[in-house]
Structure 1
């Protein structure tokens, strides 16, 4: 008589044997990481039609973005420690189920408050999948293999905001704005079924940690005061904050300054994915040759060079694209390598470390975007100032790792 392996046994087998990025694992990690970004950017082209349906204005709909990011940031701080105590599987499945519920609320909403409530529920589900994609990668991989897995996650998170506006526009034109929420909800269901059937638990019971409010606070404090974590984590977060600032300011720069059409803007965002993809392909290979820290420093230098060129150069569409390409190339190298360096020493607390890293990234993004909005200069100049300042601070933070 044969017996099917339990989820725990299957997860234990994965922990012991999964040392290469199979096609199944690529799909799962990429899908879990990109779900939140996909759900955010896919709705941007639908804002005019959505505003009419909800009886509000496009400007008021911006509250849906800020509410999503706040819930996303705070929720991560709870998901990480819970997964370290109870395992990844149930937190992943609960996060995906919560995301589906939030998507359904958004699809049937008839008022702005209802819609914002749905977006908050969506964010609480998506934050779990984002945090746990990194934690699962840390469960299964180490060293160069971890860097390759995180490169895949980074590419997926860059591809989602790059391509999703075009996808959202197509859904909106053919089926209406509600169809975008149906699509992302179906994606979450597919991920849940696939995850439960193919991967299951990756955090074995002998590596789980006790949980209580004092222990959670102690874990976070230890991470914040450990230079091995905070130096690379802060560097990566400042770089990601710069990237979100670019996404926030690019429409004003390209559409108002350089007179891009909405379709031209969507094509521009999509083209950035290929730069980040190339960087994600390059990063683990440079890390294999030079080591992760040295390759990450090179990425910081490249990103900083692009930022300085943007700030000092002329306000021209071609020059803007060239300088931004250099920035994105460096950013695409720093993100996976810096994340791998930050998570590597903390396998037992991978959930909490990933959660704190995600919180720092969202915090830096919020600060950078807010500062950019307060600067009384043209959007092009403001972006150059934010990128140059953030990359300078990121480089200084990463150098502190050498003294750890």
Structure 2
């Protein structure tokens, strides 16, 4: 039975489930960040292999979306989503039982391929059901749930570490995957009717992707979002080492700082929903938020170079991270607006670029072998300035 999106209770249910699915990647990344410095010793390995567990997850999350998105355009959203959630739960359990870092990396790959289904199909379902400003507002509302992942995940991870080992984090993620699988089975019907589905042919999929990569409007918004995500991902990848090793924060203190920054995503995503269509359009809000992020990134670098105190650094980090709530809601809505008939493929290409650019940024930041506040600041500033530049000054007309 297809979803109808006009009842308030149905909308609230959609927000909760789709917000949780779209926050799957962030939850899986952020919950184990406080444990990363200690995992190296427990697994008898170095810092770089532990960071590799983060990188392979992001790459798998990106590539998995390219597979799931086109399949969902042909088969509907529900079947690929159920399969992905089952795979995610299995991969999480694998990670919890991994005897060494090699097994952990393999488990993270399995886990990432399952998580990809939630990330790409949450956006596709919203595009199936909404258009225009209504779509942007729904994406903004989703940020309340989506943004809760970076708020609660490191806090939960940090608290778990006080009573158990890092393996308990992956056991919790196994349970989360199982709960979401049940929720989708019981409360998320199919959103893409059979008469709107695309042919399940490799040639048709290639033609769809060719159309997307030659669409200047689509690429402009997708690349702006991807580069902004890369700036935030540089923070995600490096902040546990910078704030704990360089500034002396404990795992619990770091989890609180990380959670406050995630709260900024929630708050500004909510503000965006209030402003869009009333005070300014999506493009204007996107441009302003990218400008604020670029200034905040410059502040992070200035703190690293001049030795400004920790509170100043934390304020600058908050400015950058919180703008993601505005950027992703508006950029995603604008990018998917012209591709309703191929929302799965359009969403998957967005996810691919977003996480691949983020992975490249994190890898480049780690080339020296040791992440510092300066390398994190340089990476964040380069990515946020590039995002602002790619967006440009005026909207591209369809």
TM-score (norm 2): 0.90
Q: CA deviation at 1:377?
A: 11
Aligned equivalent of 1:323: 316
Aligned equivalent of 2:207: 218
User: For the Cα contact (< 8 Å) 2:262–2:321, is it kept in 1?
Assistant: no
Cα distance in 2 for partners of 1:370, 1:67 equals 11
Q: CA deviation at 1:301?
A: 1.9
Cα distance in 2 for partners of 1:90, 1:18 equals 24
Aligned equivalent of 1:278: 267
CA RMSD of aligned residues (A): 2.6
Cα distance in 2 for partners of 1:186, 1:345 equals 37
Per-residue Cα deviation, 1:328-380 (whole angstroms, up to 9, x for no partner)? 34332122111111111111111111110011111111222233334799833
Q: CA deviation at 1:138?
A: 1.2
Q: CA deviation at 1:276?
A: 1.5
- SS across alignment from 2:191: coil
Q: CA deviation at 1:18?
A: 5.6
Aligned equivalent of 2:120: 131
Per-residue Cα deviation, 1:301-352 (whole angstroms, up to 9, x for no partner)? 2222222333346432122122223323433212211111111111111111
Equivalent of residue 254 in structure 2, options 249, 255, 265: 265
Cα distance in 1 for partners of 2:143, 2:361 equals 20
Cα distance in 1 for partners of 2:15, 2:85 equals 18
Per-residue Cα deviation, 1:95-123 (whole angstroms, up to 9, x for no partner)? 01111111222233323333322221111
Equivalent of residue 291 in structure 1, options 281, 289, 295: 281
User: For the Cα contact (< 8 Å) 2:24–2:115, is it kept in 1?
Assistant: yes
Aligned equivalent of 2:179: 190
User: For the Cα contact (< 8 Å) 2:209–2:345, is it kept in 1?
Assistant: yes
Q: Which runs of 5+ in 1 are unaligned?
A: 1-8
Per-residue Cα deviation, 1:46-93 (whole angstroms, up to 9, x for no partner)? 457755665545543333222222221111111000000000000110
Q: CA deviation at 1:158?
A: 3.8
Cα distance in 2 for partners of 1:157, 1:72 equals 16
Aligned equivalent of 2:343: 350
Q: Runs in 1 of length 4+ with deviation above 6 angstroms?
A: 375-378
Aligned equivalent of 2:294: 304
Cα distance in 1 for partners of 2:349, 2:60 equals 14
Aligned equivalent of 2:131: 142
**Match status 1:370 vs 2:367:** no
User: For the Cα contact (< 8 Å) 1:56–1:112, is it kept in 2?
Assistant: yes
Q: Which runs of 5+ in 2 are unaligned?
A: none
Cα distance in 1 for partners of 2:355, 2:290 equals 19
User: Where do 1:31-42 residues align within 5 Å?
Assistant: 31-42=20-31
Cα distance in 2 for partners of 1:400, 1:44 equals 37
Equivalent of residue 166 in structure 1, options 120, 145, 155: 155
User: Where do 1:205-244 residues align within 5 Å?
Assistant: 205-244=194-233
Aligned equivalent of 2:192: 203
Gap change, CA 1:322 and 1:373, over 3 Å in 2:
same
